[in-house]
Amino acid sequence: MSRVVALIVAVSQATPPFAPELFGALLAASAGEDLHVGQHTDAFFGALAGTQGLAILALLAGWRRR
């Protein structure tokens, strides 16, 4: 059990530094040659909303009522 907890903590601390790079790559890929702030951001904000939705679902799935 302690290995599982250690692995979960390690993954949760190692993944946030890569989020800006991944979202930046998504923004650049969706814009193509015409990269401007505020344009061609549908996929970018869709991915952000999807990520937040998955986080909410994970929270609700793990919620225990007393």
pLDDT tens for 31-51 read 777 666 667 677 778 888 898
- The per-residue b/e assignment along 8-40, b for 16 or more CB within 10 angstroms, e otherwise, is eeeeeeeeeeeeeeeeeebbeebbeeeeeeeee
The structure tokens 């903590």 sit at: 9
**pTM (global) more than 0.85:** no
Burial of 48 (0-12, 13-18, 19+ CB in 10 A): middle
Confidence of residue 66 (pLDDT cuts 50, 70, 90): low
